[in-house]
Every structure is written in C-alpha cells, then in structure tokens.
A = this chain, B = another copy of it.
Amino acid sequence: MINVGIAGASGYTGAELVKLIWNHPQTNLKAITSNSYNGQSLARVFPSMNGFENLICQDLDVKKLAGKIDVMFLALPHKVSMEYVPGLLNENIKVIDLSADYRFSNAKAYESAYQAHTSKQLLKESVYGLCEIYRAQIKSSPLIGNPGCYPTSILLPLLPLIKENLILTTGIISDSKSGVSGAGRSLSLATHFSEVNESFSAYKIGNHRHTPEINEILSLHAQVNVNITFTPHLLPLTRGMLSTIYLQAKDHINEQKIRETYHNFYDKEPFVRVLDKSQFPAISHVRGTNRCDFGFYFDENTRQIIIVSAIDNLLKGAAGQAVQNMNILFGFPDETGLNAVQAPL
C-alpha cells in the first residue's frame, strides 16, 4: 500500500483522481488540496462524492506532506506546478504532474509556448508519461510529466508509424475534437451552457499549446523535425475526445504492414485497442474507460492514411493515465484500479 496525495482535488481532473485512488486496491489517500475550497469537505465541493465528508481540502504545504506521502499528483495549472515540484522532490515525494510544466525536455520549446521555466534542470530528469511508449523510463523516474489530452490521442496512433519509419513526417494533420470538461471548472463565456450547447467550433487555430508538445515527441522519435498541423474543436458534450488524423504512407508501405506494426506495438497493452479494418471508434465507446481506441483507413491509390482515435479526455487524457503512470512507477500491473468494465451508456 502506498500513500498518495492529490493537489487540485476540486477540479474535474482532481476529482477523477480522487475517485480512481479511492477505488484503487493498493493506495491510501492521505491528503487532498484545493486553493478555492480550503477547509471544505470534498463532498461539499462535489455533492456526488458521497463518502468523502471526512476528506477535507487543505492548502498545499510541502512541509506538512513530508514523510507522509509516497507520491503526489498535481492537478494544477501550468506555472503553479513548478512552484511545488522541487520542494516535493526534496522531500522524497514522487511527483506525477498533470500540468504542462514537466512535459518538455527542451526548455525553449516550453518557454515559447508557456512562460519562463523556474526549474529547467528538472526537465532533464522528468519523463514524459505516455505509458505505452515510455514505460521503461517511467519505472525509475521520480518526476513524470503526464501528457496532455490531445497529445495522447494523437501520439498513440502516430508513434508506431513514426518509429518504424512507415510514413512521411511532413503534412501530418490532426483535426481534433474535445468535450467541454477539458476546459475545467473555471467559469468563462466559452463554457457557459447556452453558448456551447447546440454549437461547435474550432479554436486556437495555428497556435494551441499542445502543438509544440506533440512536435517535440514526434521529432524525437522521427529524428527529424516534425511540425504537424493541429486544429482543436469544442464539442457540445461533457467528456470525450476524438482525433481524425491525416498522413501519407511511404512508397513501399501497404495496409498490412501498418496493421502488423500496430499489433506488434499494442496487442499486449491493456489500454490501447487497434480496431479491425473498417471499424472506427466513437467517443461513447471509450467514455468512462482508460482506453485509447483507434482504427485506420488506407487508400491504396493515394497512400493516404486516415486514423480516427478516441479517448476519455479525463481518463486516458488525464487522471487515468496519471494512475497508470503511478502503477508503472510502483510496480503494480497497469490495469490495477483501472480495469472496471464500462457499459455502453
């Protein structure tokens, strides 16, 4: 049994973490923090969270956590995470950070997309927590930068093709669509019910901060600079994400080769599911699960590949993958606390 803390428990991702850790057979939830709800029980913050009347949000004080916590999840905004991570590591608390602060190995890339980084040296030590790709490194790293939701939905189907050199690294386009929960619980006109409901729109065209995150990882594996086109959209639904990805196979590559490559990479992975030919996922297929499901279409004439990939943005795109990282870090099977079957509705 390990002792766990969760910072930012009053957000949607934080609440998912509380749920997962509570149901997890190998953890004790020792501390939750919330800036906005300090001193209040989580059951008051989220009336659905029955049984949590005695779990009180506290402020995030590294000294108080020292010696009591084995691992801390940070469901905090970028920039805020950086303020706590060095202190937590100093106290021998492992950190799984769900902000963007430790996802980059290149500080300049981070700084051009976000702001000045106050602990650049840690970027060399932190591991990008895309479980299926970085499992070996995750096992031994005290600091994990949990991937963004969009990057997870895009990188999982792209990396096998990139690593095996099956596709052109230019001209890759991901047209991605996310549910509203990805924008968190903070108030804004963009997430006001009457504005979102019965509507749909693209946003941050050409400049979303997940683009450099995706490009860094793709480039590392391609060994050339990769610059994808990434267009996020806002769906009128609460949870779920779907990416439609367009790319070109290299000349000698056929559908069979792609399919084999995928199966080699993922057949033993409990949370990635390569769909059969002509099968594509819907968001409803993965909602409430930690899975990434994807299918692909290959046009023999044009050599174009179209991949459709779906995740639950709060699970495989955030809290679920964070717990999967914890499982890897502490030597539990990946599925521990994450393998509940989900009904279709």
Decide yes or no: A48 and B342 within 8 Å by CB, A192-B193, A231-B244, A236-B237 being known contacts. Answer: yes
Distance of A25 from chain B, by nearest CB (Å): 11
Q: Which of B202, B282, B289 contacts A308 (CB 8 A)?
A: B202
Chain B positions within 8 Å of A288 at CB level: 288
Evaluate contact between A345 and B181: CB separation under 8 angstroms.
Answer: yes
Distance of A314 from chain B, by nearest CB (Å): 7
User: How many interface residues does A have (CB within 8 Å)?
Assistant: 80
24 A-B pairs within 8 Å (CB atoms) are namely: A12-B194, A12-B344, A16-B345, A19-B342, A47-B281, A48-B344, A50-B289, A50-B291, A173-B246, A175-B246, A185-B194, A187-B187, A187-B192, A191-B194, A193-B197, A195-B284, A197-B236, A199-B283, A200-B283, A201-B242, A206-B306, A235-B235, A235-B236, A314-B345
Evaluate contact between A199 and B284: CB separation under 8 angstroms.
Answer: yes
Decide yes or no: A343 and B285 within 8 Å by CB, A237-B200, A308-B205 being known contacts. Answer: no
Copy tally for this chain in the complex stands at 4
Chain B positions within 8 Å of A281 at CB level: 47, 201
Which residues of A48-72 have CB atoms within 8 Å of chain B's CB atoms?
48-52
- The answer to the question of A266 belonging to the interface, with a C-beta cut-off of 8 Å to chain B, is no
Chain B positions within 8 Å of A246 at CB level: 173, 175, 229, 246
In the bound complex, how far is the Cα of B160 from the Cα of A256, in angstroms?
Answer: 40
Chain B positions within 8 Å of A103 at CB level: none
Most-contacted residue by chain B among A171, A229, A238, A283 (CB, 10 A) = A238
The 6 closest A-B pairs by CB, nearest first: A201-B282, A199-B284, A175-B175, A19-B343, A187-B187, A46-B344
- The answer to the question of A240 belonging to the interface, with a C-beta cut-off of 8 Å to chain B, is yes
- The answer to the question of A90 belonging to the interface, with a C-beta cut-off of 8 Å to chain B, is no
In the bound complex, how far is the Cα of B187 from the Cα of A196, in angstroms?
Answer: 13
A residues contacting B by CB (< 8 A) are 12, 15-16, 18-19, 22-23, 46-52, 171, 173, 175, 177, 180-181, 185, 187-189, 191-203, 205-206, 227, 229, 231, 233, 235-240, 242, 244, 246, 273, 279-289, 291, 293, 297, 299, 302, 304, 306, 308, 310, 314, 340-345
Evaluate contact between B344 and A15: CB separation under 8 angstroms.
Answer: yes
Chain B positions within 8 Å of A185 at CB level: 189, 192, 194
In the bound complex, how far is the Cα of B18 from the Cα of A169, in angstroms?
Answer: 44
